[in-house]
Amino acid sequence: MQYRRFGRTNLQLSVFSLGTMRYLASEETAIATVRKAVCAGINHIETARGYGNSEAYLGRALQLGLGCPREALHITSKLPPTPDGQQLEQWLDESLDRLGCDYLDTLAIHGLNTPQQLASIQGENGSLAAAERARKAGKIRHLGFSTHGDLDLILEAMRTGAFEFVNLHYYLFFQRHQPAIALADALDMGVFIISPADKGGQLHHPPKRLRELCKPLSPLGLNYRFLLSDPRVSTLSVGPATPEELDGVLAWGDRLDPLTATERDGLGRLEQEFEQRLGSDACRQCYACLPCPEQIQIPEVLRLRNLAIAYEMESFGQYRYRMFENAGHWFPGRRGNRCTDCGDCLPRCPEQLDIPRLLRDTHARLAPREGRRLWQED
């Protein structure tokens, strides 16, 4: 396992971090998962108030012992944005109690997704003021934020100067947030990549065509190499539900060198396939089509179409498309069938795409069938 400096926190984090949203099957399984991760060299564990029993299970693992002192581990928990600083302080005390810890190495404001949330935490009695009081009291050591928001919001939050790190979505198949990576580097902020395996494309179970294009690497391996070959990326989340799910992942934590010729060839094949299969219907993700009068998140809808057609990632596309209209500010926007053919987006598209046609086509390919259980975010 290799380690990288987490921006101006100056913490040296393992390049894989243990995310604990999925290790909720039982306390016993959770403890075994934490122990295996720590044994493999992971020294950063991330939990959250909203992750069910996660904080309590991690607290029990710490109480029973992990073969190293508490000071050798870096623990992050996450709390929702709130304009009520006293509420945040109460939540923090509850998290520390469940964890059995005197302090958090890092606290993240969890789900800073809207301009309204960003404005609300900056008030005189808001979350940022409460976090600063907690820092002075020794209850937290560093502050950051996690986000599912749009790029402009992310950059605005980073420029406040209030945060030392950012948790965000950025992957081989979603590079929209590259400017946030660049700004984090300029501001000396740590970069924590959220769910590169699952949200990055359900890469633990890739389709056959994608596997063929990425050979001799796996799609997951190529995604990890794309991320970890970039020295601006500090650490990647790995979120196993069981200890066994760590197998085959952690070995990639030894590889921080630049991309090899073989790996670059794999990226080249992906790009060539993209061009050949999508042709003049390819959405280049410029986002010039927004805003949509019907609140359709056009670029994301068409990105899922791109992946389904270019790499046969229909299952991933269906998984993400189901989230539209069901996840609130965690995944905003409406589905492609909401298009009214108003034509508002057409003159703004530099590729001159027939956007209404492509939205309807995406809906036909990816829409949930009646009776299917919809995804929801806590």
Q: How many CA atoms lie within 13 A of 318 on its CB side?
A: 13
Task: Check: pTM over 0.85? Answer yes or no.
Answer: yes
Nearest residue to 187 (alpha-carbon basis) of 164, 168, 169: 164
Place of tokens 């259980």: 373
List active site positions. Answer: 51
CB 168 within 8 A of CB 199: no
State which H helix or E strand residue 304 sits in: helix 298-311
What DSSP assignment string belongs to 173-226? TB-TTHHHHHHHHHHTBEEEE--TTTTTT-TTS--HHHHHHHTTS-HHHHHHHH
Residue keyed to tokens 């060839």: 265
Consecutive H or E run containing 236: strand 235-238
pLDDT at 375: 39
Give 10-residue mean pLDDT values along the chain (378 residues).
97 97 86 95 96 94 92 96 96 98 97 96 94 97 97 98 97 98 98 96 96 97 98 96 90 94 98 97 97 98 98 97 93 95 97 98 88 40
What is the C-alpha end-to-end distance of the chain, expressed in Å? 32
Say what the pLDDT of residue 370 is: 55
Q: What is the pLDDT of residue 123?
A: 87
Among residues 11, 15, 32, 13, the alpha carbon closest in space to that of 23 is found at 32
For residues 148 and 343, what is the distance between their CA atoms, to the nearest angstrom?
28
What Cα–Cα distance (Å) separates residue 181 from each residue in 165, 192, 226? 11, 10, 13
- Closest by Cα among 208, 214, 174 to 193: 174
Closest among 348, 363, 366, 351 to 282, alpha carbons compared: 351
